[in-house]
Structure 1
Amino acid sequence: MQGNLNEIDIRSILQLIELGQRTGILFVETDTENHYQGGKQTSQQTLISKSYWYRNQQKCWLVFFEHGKIVYAIDGNHNLSRLQAYLRHYRLQVRLSKAKLAASLSSSLPEYACLWLLISENTISLSQAHSIIHSFIQEAIFDLLSLYQGTFSFKSSSPLTPQLATWETTALVAQIMPQVQEWKQLYPYIDSPEQLPHIVDMLRLKASLPVKTVDKLQRWADGKTSLRQLSRYLNRDILTVARAIYPYVHQGWLKMVYKNSYNPEAELKKQCNQQHRQELRIVCINDNASTSKSIESILRSHNHQLHLQQSLQIHTFTNPFEALAHLFQIQPHLILCDIMMPELNGYEICAMLRHSEAFRYLPILMLLNKDSMIYNIKSTIAGATDYLITPFQDTELLILVNKYLTFS
């Protein structure tokens, strides 16, 4: 199941997964480049959607299901900051050993692995873990129900393990949908959970509000803490937090800003574009670290044989989920992807990327462990540009890279 969100909305997609009692992963990404062009993009709903996602271009989510029920959800961020924010609410000073932390981060889902490690060590209780995962899922569903443009792909897979609980999809949507509708009413004063409240009129605040309220606002409305971070620290849904500060924003005592909004954005974009023009980027996705290192070594040591006018940047990932989360930021010119990976295989990755405007025509080379007609056909069906049989000679890799790594 796959398609565009302008053809079928998230709510309907979730209902189909639930009714079909499907087990697998829903992958959703924004498609901001083409969001707001055309004659029909004039409604207030579209305007709010544009504002909401303007600062979060090409963001992605992964939602894990078992028999139509939701097990877990992430927003493409694979560090532990979200978990740490919720642990802060419970006033837990979590200090994992370097070895255990490294083990969690090497997992395909580091946040999930770390959470279960904390449970196993009795650092957090099962009820606390249940509440944290539920909050993770609520965040993702809120964001997805606020999304009106983008692409989606559902892939059947084995259920996520270990598993703490499952949540009824319909019940979650019924709970969160009214929040999404009410959130729209806060526009244009508040339009994104990523905005940071910042005090701009302290004199009027002190003259109009009790001392305790002013103290709280000084603590949180520092221009450094986003609404989403506040909701995590306070363990409250994003709408409750936004409603609490809305009157002060409406009065003009607080201002909603974005991170780094005081920097000239045009200059930052210009610098970024200049940097991108000066380098070519290759991404290698392979759970076998030695193969990835070998590819990187060959490309670097034989760089003179690559007929390139730009410098070459090589990014390797052993974790397919981590790779998906970073691809939009890296904007590669070529992807090398192994087909045999346990969490998410190369066929699934390739098919997901081909339903994204950003990667529809990008050269994707599949790494096959043997020259099989079945593998070749499956790669072609998934959308692969070409393939390379492993193990391979240095010249074989260089020929393919020279063939497809062209700069436009």
Structure 2
Amino acid sequence: MTSRDTSQLQKKYVYLDHAATTPMDPDVFKVFTEYSINNFENPSSLHEMGKRARKSVENSRKIIASSLNIHPKGVIFTSSGTESDNLALQGIMRHRAKERPHLIVSQIEHPAIYNTAKYLEHEGFEVSYVPVTSEGFVELSVLESLIQENTQLISIHFVNNEIGTYQPIKEIGQLAKKNNIIFHSDAVQAFGKIPIDMQALNIDLLSLSGHKLYGPKGVGALCINSQKLTSEKFSNLATFLEPMLYGGLQENSLRPSTENVPAIIALGRAVENAEQNMNKWKEQGKKLQEVFISEVLTKIPYSYLNGNQEKRLYNNCNFRFDGVDGFDLLMLLDNQGIATSTGSACSSKSDKPSRVLTSLGLSPSDASGSIRLTLGKGTTAEDIQYTVAKMERALKQLRFATHFQ
């Protein structure tokens, strides 16, 4: 082995991109592999082994429903948070197309919502985009001013995927309820990290994804608070939501195709783990986040925090730095074994500045000088100190190259 190979093996690796995806927990992976190899049966089959698979799927459905305080039959399994978002927005709007429905979303939604809204607008549906404050919050008075007689759906994410800010979800739910409007929330970043009670928050539809909470990729859910949406039986969920796919009767006829049993079971286990460890993860993450933000803003000149410092998810740190390009900083950190991002992983191939950050009022150059670092349950204080030291060095190098003073 050459000295170069040895140095590569010895290089420290710090993963600070948990908002993009998380590693699968060992016990979750164990369940996933067990149901991939030894319990692989189709849950729609009528034989005994098929019934066993069905029972396991329904158990995961109950786990997720319990965590959200809804009926289990309101949990519709999908392939991802993106599919769940599309099913919610397209499903509601297309089902009510004859009523010429109006949709409201925020300007800083995840691409799964924002680009779906743009697509629906292109198809002839009416869409309004709520502006946000300089810290990324939707103001209720502004949202209320956009409501029309034909407004059928409001979709506002629970936590922003780039800057981690919480939205006033309970108040938005109350506003939607008062105006008899369906309220959907993309909770992909929030679910599994903070408690969510769909009943108490007046959320009608909620999207979640497995790989954001130490579960597998390729599985998500659209969760429906049916008690609020319809007085009809659960078997008639499709009477208010148009499916995007057509085929069998799986998932209350809203998501035909054979269920991804291993991933669904693994998702259930990941949700159980999150429920049991939520307070511990929050306490640990909040302490590290506070240290991280303080160290960066204190030690690195011309550094700023994007978003609100208090009302943000405890694992999110989004910084901007004068005189540098965030992509160049990301690359230098990557060379030191530190994994970060410049924003949403779903938009990482775009050469445009972050839509989220420019919506806060940042100039394109300021937005381009930002990076997102998101902590996980395995992040340590040593990881934070290592990262801050490498960031200091990288920023000095970049600023020297551009003659920034």
Q: Same fold (TM over 0.5)?
A: no
Give the number of the structure whose alpha-carbon radius of gyration is greater.
Answer: 1
TM superposition score normalised by structure 2: 0.28
- Higher-RCO chain (CA-CA 8 Å, sequence separation at least 6): 2
TM superposition score normalised by structure 1: 0.28
